[in-house]
Chains A and B, each alone.
Chain A
């Protein structure tokens, strides 16, 4: 289906034109909750990139070599969510042992990631669009990077906004959504450069 654009094309499309957050609306919950400070946003963003890339690779393998041959496609959702949850758990355990600093930087975000819709969304999109293995990995990586760019930019804006006077009803979620809307318009400017189905 997407043979026209290669691995790099998919990567850039996932970062800019089809940004997972601003055009597919995935991962909004943590986007709104954890975008108060640039530093935490950066931490969560890097955790997401890592988990997203790894799980899209694992899920691709599981889907194509375990589920498809046995006609178990309908179990896809359950299997994917288990893979993601298990992967997150394992990563959390490993970095807890290996590096104290990394754990304090990323560890607290890991449990949040299991319920981040973006992670599951990437796996589902890659199945629907029939990506090959390398395409899936670059799609996962690209979506992760795109998500991080969006959340870090958002956190930067919100840090500035902390001192601004905002209409009462718009405080918190309201204003963040409007910012997200404006950012999404900016990202729409990239459309036409590259497209993902």
Chain B
């Protein structure tokens, strides 16, 4: 059992990573990554939702009629997202305002739905929990890396603290929409390059 959990976790962090291998849920990858702080908050919310919704779906998996399973899992996910939203509004109102609708959009984040569909419906709660958390983390660290570079290059700051002095010409395009696309593309390119090389060596 423990071995299995470890295996799933590793796969979700690397080989089956939701963002750069399966290219899922990138709407919010792109939208919230212009500032590191927002990204961290978003990631925590996302890990929470994937983990718990996976467990819930898995616990209920024998009770859910197959025809309406999508609907049921969406509702489960939506309830957890509401929790996240309320907590954010209460404790981090600034961040909540900046994230705006993107917190709500966790509901339609394909990763969560995908994990619930592909994994939680066929596996035991504990395994599903591990799967949910690890794909959440696999998603988050990609987000964090991208956010780090976007904030650094786009505004010369990290976590709001100026790192690069006045000599740095800000690449303002990095904090705007196109920067997000380019950054993610480059990231996927690098990662795929490494993976492809690994696969060739393995042969």
Q: Which A residues have a C-beta under 8 Å from some C-beta of B? A: 22-29, 32, 74-78, 81-82, 85, 114-117, 119-121, 124-125, 128, 167-170, 172-175, 177-178, 180-182, 184-185, 188
Residues of A within 8 A of B16 (CB): none
Pull 7 A–B residue pairs with CB atoms less than 8 Å apart, ordered by A: A23-B177, A77-B104, A78-B79, A81-B75, A169-B188, A181-B177, A181-B182
A78 CA to B192 CA, complexed, in Å: 37
Once A and B bind, how many residue pairs between them come within 8 Å at the CB atom?
A: 129
Q: How far is the CB of B160 from chain A (nearest CB, A)?
A: 23
- CB < 8 Å: which of A25, A115, A177 contacts B110? A115
Q: How far is the CB of B109 from chain A (nearest CB, A)?
A: 7
A168 CA to B197 CA, complexed, in Å: 11
Interface size in chain B (residues, C-beta < 8 A): 45
Interchain CB contact under 8 A, B105 and A22: no
Chain B contact residues: helix, strand, loop or mixed: helix
Residues of B within 8 A of A75 (CB): 82
Interface assignment of B101: CB less than 8 Å from any CB of chain A: yes
A28 CA to B71 CA, complexed, in Å: 21
Q: For chain B residues 68-99, which have a beta carbon within 8 Å of chain A?
A: 70-71, 74-75, 78-79, 81-82, 85-86
Interchain CB contact under 8 A, A174 and B180: no
Interchain CB contact under 8 A, B101 and A121: yes
